[in-house]
Each structure stands twice: as structure tokens, then as C-alpha cells.
Structure 1
Amino acid sequence: MKPFPQTRMTVDEYLAWSETNPGRYELVRGEVYEMTPQRLLHAEVKAAVYTALRRGIRAAGLPCWAIPDGMTVRVDARTAYEPDALVYCGPRRDPKSVEVPDPVIVVEVSSPSTRRTDSSEKLTGYFRVPSIRHYLMVDPDRRMVVHHRRAGSEIETTLLQDGTLVLDPPGLELPVAALFEEP
């Protein structure tokens, strides 16, 4: 196991630290947390979500980019998450970037060990990022999507197990079933 820094750090310090400490981590209130290993089903659904987002962006002709896990989203000076997928719009980022400062859509694929954090801390944290319009919690065990959408100063929540997921902005429509397709 890798040693974690003994002092609290800022996101900038964390990003510098993570460059020399390979693995999957998140920074929460200045403390580094190692992410647990994932089940095969979790990995397959992450791949399906990324593929569906990428195909949807291309089909709609949007100037947006789907990114699989591995990119950092800064919530505040001492908290940074690594969603399972995200979408940002506009020009392509520098290929050397490790952070996406203005995602429009963030996705967490829930697991038994992350379900509570995804629906509490991350829900409030992600919506502190002004650019985020949609937070999707994808539950592979229940084959369900919990869609949280910024609607002015409120957050609207919809549960979907079938039909079409509408993500506007940026103008994506995805069949819910596509989020669970085998890659």
C-alpha cells in the first residue's frame, strides 16, 4: 500500500502528489482516499456509459467530449473527485491535462461500497461546480439511472430504468438501455 500524505493538502498539492503516486484516489476535505478495486460488472457498465455518451455526442454533432474515468473534477480548494465518466463541451483540452474544470455531465457508477457517498457527499459536491448540469448515478445491480439535473437554483431528480435519458444542455438523448450494454 502506498503511504498517504500525513498533512491535509489542497487540490493543487494533491494533483502534484498524484503524478508520482500511481493509482486511483480522490481528495476529500484535504485528505487522500484510495479508491477500492472494482467488480467486473462495475467496469463493464463504466465502459458502456462512456461508449453511449461518446456515440450520443457524435450522433448529435455536438462540440463536446466524453471522457472515461481518470480525470479530476475540482469541487473546491480541498476536494477533488474522479468520476467514472464525464462530458465537457468546447475546444478539446490540452492532452496533458489531468483535470477538467468545466464538465457539463458527471457520472458515477454506484457500487455497494460507494452508494451512500455517491448520493450524499458527491451529490452536493458536484453541484457546487457551476458548469455541472447533470449528475448521473448509474446502478448496475438495479439497472437504474438516478438523474440529478440542475434546474435554476433547484436540483430535480428522475429515476429511469428504461426509455430515453435527456441531457439538455448539451443536447444529448440516450437510450437508458445503452448505459448497460455489454461493451
Structure 2
Amino acid sequence: MSTAAQFEPISVSDYLVGERSAKRKHEYVYGVVYAMAGGSNRHNRIASNAIVSLGGQLVGEKCEAFNSDTKVRVRQSAGTRFYYPDVTVVCDPNSDADSFHDHPVVVIEVISESTRRTDEHEKRDAYLSIDSLCVYVLIEQANAAAQVYRRADSGFDREVYLGLDAVIPLPEIDSELRLGDVYQNVVFTDNSEADEDSFDT
């Protein structure tokens, strides 16, 4: 008889209760909990700039922008996931008593080399499975560049925006995201220029 330890998945309810008192954030994938590393000042500056830009445009509107303290729940046939996006825009919010949203319209992640694989693959696939999601934005840290996955009739189309003059249109929420605003006070190195071929697809 095997004496190997048996994996006991954590229930959704136990995870949510634990997050209320946890000193660090944890993401949840099919019963497994993963501690999140803290973001750099650059990461947090870019994320803050994005939420300030969108939040200002959404004042008085139905949709709202939420920061990375709010989770997104992804319910799939294989199980449930909870992620903490850097920015979430929601037009059909959950109850104020909840710590998560089920119906994001826009999700933004600020990516780094340590999070690139997860953000560009695992999280992308999860977010794009949400029926309400219209736009998934991945913002680079090392240069002024962003990838956008936008819902179309046949699925999601991929768009690339390069340079501080680029503007990401967001007609889905009657807004736009200017990369010049997103990268305000961000200093790049001399060799930080990006091109479309630099993205992992």
C-alpha cells in the first residue's frame, strides 16, 4: 500500500475565508493556492497609472475600474480559479460583500519576465473563457508596448501597440488607454525599444 501523501484540494470557501486574513495575496487554481510575489515600484506605477486613467474616464458611468485588491473568479468545467488582475473594469458588479467579480469587461495585467509565461498563456486562456470579457490587455514594463486580445465574432483578435504615442481604443467601455499616460514617470533604458516580433505568441 502506498504511503505517498495524498493531495487534498482546498475548497473555494476555505480559500476565500483564508484570504481575508492573509498577509500575502494568493491565487487559486483548481484547489491549489499560490502565493503572489510583490510587484516592483515600476510595476505598481504602471498599474496605478492605468487605473487612474481609466477610473477618471469612467466617473459617473455604469462601469467601474478596480485595482489589484479585487479578485476575478473564473468558473470552468475543470474547476474554479481566482486571480488578482492589476486592473479590472466591471459593468455588472458582484455584491459589495464579495471580494471578487464574475463579469469583468476589461482585464489588464502588467507583465514582467517572471510573470510572462503565466500572463501570456495560463491567465490569458482563463480570462478569455469568461463570457463577459471583451478585452485583455498585457502591458510591458521594459518598454512602451502592449498586447491586446479583443473579442471578435470568431473569438479574440490580437493587436499590438508600440510607443508612447500609441492609444488603445476601448469602445467597449467608451474609453481609451494612452500609453503615454500608462508610462507616466517611467524611465526606460536606451535599448528598451520594442517591436512586434519581441512578443511571445
TM-score when normalising by structure 2: 0.80
Q: Does 1:73 find its partner at 2:75?
A: no
Cα distance in 2, alignment partners of residues 135 and 29 from structure 1:
22
Task: Please give the secondary structure, in 1, of the residue aligned with 2:9.
Answer: coil
Tell me if 1:115 matches 2:116: yes
How far the C-alpha of 1:163 sits from its partner, in A, is: 2.2
Map of 2:196 onto structure 1: none
Identity of aligned residues (%): 27
- Counterpart-to-counterpart distance in 2, 1:15 and 1:74: 11
1:182 to partner: Cα distance: 3.3
Question: How big is each residue's C-alpha offset from its partner over 1:9-36, in whole Å with a ceiling of 9 and x where there is no partner?
Answer: 2433321221232311101222100011
Distance in 2 between the 1:181 and 1:18 partners?
A: 32
Output the CA distance in 2 between the equivalents of 1:22 and 1:118.
23
In structure 1, stretches of 5+ residues that fail to align are 1-5
Residue-by-residue CA offset, 1:72-119 (whole Å, 9 max, x unaligned):
1111243111101110114x6544320111110011110111011100
**Contact 1:143 1:180 (8 Å CA) reproduced:** yes
How far apart are the structure 1 equivalents of 2:96 and 2:73? 18
Matched position secondary structure for 1:9: coil
CA RMSD of aligned residues (A): 1.9
The equivalent residue for 2:168 is 165
Partner of 2:98: 97
What residue is the counterpart of 2:57 in the other structure?
A: 56
Separation in 1, partners of 2:11, 2:143: 36
* Number of corresponding residues: 175
Q: Deviations over 1:16-71 (max 9, x none)?
A: 2212323111012221000112111011111111111112223xx53111111111
Counterpart for residue 199 of structure 2: none
CA contact (8 A) 1:88 1:103 kept: yes
Distance in 2 separating the partners of 1:85 and 1:107:
5
- Aligned equivalents of 1:83, 1:67: Cα separation in 2: 9
- Secondary structure at 2:65's aligned position in 1? strand
Paired residues of 2:74 and 2:102 also in contact (CA < 8 A):
no
Aligned in 2, Cα 1:10/1:149: closer, same or farther, shift over 3 Å? farther
2:177 pairs with 1:178:
no
Higher relative contact order, chain-length normalized (CA < 8 Å, sep 6+): 1
Aligned match of 1:153 = 154
Whole-angstrom CA distance in 2 between matches of 1:78 and 1:10 = 10
- Say which one has the larger Rg: 2
Q: Distance in 2 between matches of 1:179 and 1:123?
A: 21
